[in-house]
Amino acid sequence: MAIRHYWSMAVAAVGFRLVLVLFGGDLHLASRPEVSTPLTSLRRLAEGYWLKQASMSPYSGSMYHGSPLLLSVLGPLTSKRSGGHHSHIYCSLVFVAVDFIAAILIRSTGRTLQMARNRSLKSLDLTKSVDNSVNVSAGDTASLIYLWNPWTIITCVGSCTSPIENLMVVIMLHGACSGLVPLAAFGYVIATHLSLYPAILILPVALLLGNGPDTPPAKVFLQRGSSANKIVMSDNGKSTSQKGFGQFSRKPILHFILWVFIWSCYVLLLNSIILNKVGGLQEMFEKTYGFILTVKDLSPNIGVLWYFFAEVFDFFRSFFLIVFNMNIIFMVLPLAIRLKHRPCFLAFVYTAIVAMLKSYPSAGDSALYIGLLGLFANELAEMQFTFFLFFGYIGVSLLSPVMHNLWIWRGTGNANFYFATGLAYTCLQTVLVVETVSSMIKHDRRLLIKA
């Protein structure tokens, strides 16, 4: 069931952003550690662009650690020549447009998943039993959640590059769900280039291209026997239910790998041209990917790694760097085996885990996976602890700036105050991941029983 007045609410969300951009200059969101990180800060990008304009390497010193592509795209907008104190407004307007495009692509992805879901339920003759419980437009819901999420709004208005990173991930998922291999490869390459961590999304994308969008488990189709196979026939007369659980198409995967190679070469070539005479690709890798993996900047953020590595002895630092970086990789394969029939949901889980364990997290990371969570509004309708999670996120969002103010500005607190909110935030994300995975598994089990 589509949401009424969707476009009115979407336009209102864009208008609200524009009001904050044009008349909210005193918010000072760009200086908030919850919004900007050493990797996404627009101020650091402006510094890198100034160094480049002065015929110096943008990675000189320890200010800029982002992509050279962002320097070429956003750098001119941050220059004082482009409007002085109005330069940040131009960048924010770009981010408003980026957010709107991401929301539209999320809506389109949700509709694709909804159509695949309806086809699967029809093939299993479960449409009536499921529709009696809940059947909302997941695409509209996810799109509006993304547009009206306070974290998405402050990230957009707060002058950081997180909206662009989120857009690339959304483009990748949209291309994979729609079967647009070049588009999926483009989103994957740029997203990985900007923040490295989306590299683990290679498995969900491969499953999406090979198996198609999310479907019930193979056991449900097998339990229905040959009757399900007789019901679902495409327009050209070929069975479409078999691909959901029996066949894995390798041709799109090979096509995707080819396009990833092409886009990667193109990106490296552009970076090499941009850094010509002011650096090189080796320095870029050291200052971007190396900076992410080694956690050299210990400025406070909403994560837990900055506090941990500020306290750990240097003798054990290398060991714990390996542990924390490998912790994400250890979860990839088990989750892929268990949720291989739901690759888009698997991508959401990976995104939430990355937002929880990455070295420099921000509110923009949470804005992305909360928006993607809306794509599964029907499957997760009976998820537990929603009340606890909802108000827990609100509480952390309100306490984090308060504790930071007590520590940094008033001097009546210490680092433990701010770290406690980051620890609570990590615990909330852990509960969210566990509950969503558990609810999806329970949903699939109910389908198995009804079949």
DSSP string, 19-37: HHHHH-GGG-GGG-TTT--
Beta bridge partners of 239: 233
User: Structure tokens of 299?
Assistant: 């400025």
Question: Span 237-260, mean pLDDT?
Answer: 71
Mean of all residue pLDDT scores within the chain? 86
Looking at the predicted structure, is the pLDDT value of residue 184 above 90? yes
Amino acid at 446: R
User: Structure tokens of 334?
Assistant: 């088990």
Looking at the predicted structure, is the pLDDT value of residue 231 above 70? no
What is the tens place of the pLDDT at every residue in 134-172? 677 888 999 999 999 999 999 998 888 999 999 999 999
Where is mean pLDDT largest: 216-225, 230-239, 411-420? Answer: 411-420
Torsion angle of alpha carbons 291, 45, 368, 263, nearest 10°? -80
CA atoms within 13 Å, Cβ hemisphere of 53 = 14
Query: How far apart, in whole angstroms, are the C-alpha atoms of residue 352 and residue 435?
Result: 12
The larger pLDDT score, comparing residue 83 to residue 185, is at 185
Task: Quickly tell me which residue has 């804005």 as its tokens.
Answer: 367
User: Distances from the Cα of 450 to the Cαs of 113, 410, 418, 447, in angstroms?
Assistant: 21, 60, 48, 5
pLDDT confidence band for 130 (50 / 70 / 90): low
Give the start-to-end residue ranges of the domains of the chain.
Answer: 7-290+300-450
Question: Which pLDDT score is estimated for 246?
Answer: 52
Task: Quickly tell me which residue has 């995707």 as its tokens.
Answer: 256
Nearest to 197 by CA among 166, 222, 157: 166
Query: How far apart, in whole angstroms, are the C-alpha atoms of residue 198 and residue 341?
Result: 20
Looking at the predicted structure, is the pLDDT value of residue 5 above 90? no
Report how far apart the first and last C-alpha atoms of the chain are (Å, whole number). Answer: 24
Query: How far apart, in whole angstroms, are the C-alpha atoms of residue 40 and residue 35?
Result: 9
Amino acid at 266: Y
What is the tens place of the pLDDT at every residue in 301-318? 999 999 999 988 888 999
Tell me the Ramachandran region of residue 233: left when phi exceeds 0, alpha when psi lies from -120 to 50, beta otherwise.
Answer: beta
Nearest to 58 by CA among 359, 348, 49: 49
Please provide the size of the chain in residues. Answer: 451
Query: How far apart, in whole angstroms, are the C-alpha atoms of residue 227 and residue 124?
Result: 8
Angle in degrees, CA 192, 197, 198, rounded to 5: 55
Query: How far apart, in whole angstroms, are the C-alpha atoms of residue 63 and residue 391?
Result: 36
User: Structure tokens of 250?
Assistant: 């390798």
Percentage of the chain beyond pLDDT 90 is 58
User: Structure tokens of 18?
Assistant: 């524009």
Query: Environment class of residue 298 by beta-carbon count within 10 Å: exposed (0-12), middle (13-18) or buried (19+)?
Result: middle
Q: Is the dihedral of CA 250, 252, 253, 254 positive or negative?
A: positive
Query: How far apart, in whole angstroms, are the C-alpha atoms of residue 361 and residue 297?
Result: 13
Percentage of the chain beyond pLDDT 70 is 89
Helix, coil or strand: residue 160 = strand
What is the tens place of the pLDDT at every residue in 10-20? 999 999 999 99
User: Structure tokens of 193?
Assistant: 């280039």
Question: Which pLDDT score is estimated for 128?
Answer: 64
Task: Quickly tell me which residue has 């949470």 as its tokens.
Answer: 366
Torsion angle of alpha carbons 3, 8, 9, 13, nearest 10°? 150
Query: Environment class of residue 3 by beta-carbon count within 10 Å: exposed (0-12), middle (13-18) or buried (19+)?
Result: middle
Query: How far apart, in whole angstroms, are the C-alpha atoms of residue 450 and residue 399?
Result: 45
pLDDT confidence band for 124 (50 / 70 / 90): confident
Question: Which pLDDT score is estimated for 278?
Answer: 81
What is the tens place of the pLDDT at every residue in 253-301? 999 999 999 999 999 999 999 998 887 899 999 999 999 999 999 999 9
Question: Span 393-414, mean pLDDT?
Answer: 89
User: Structure tokens of 120?
Assistant: 């699967």
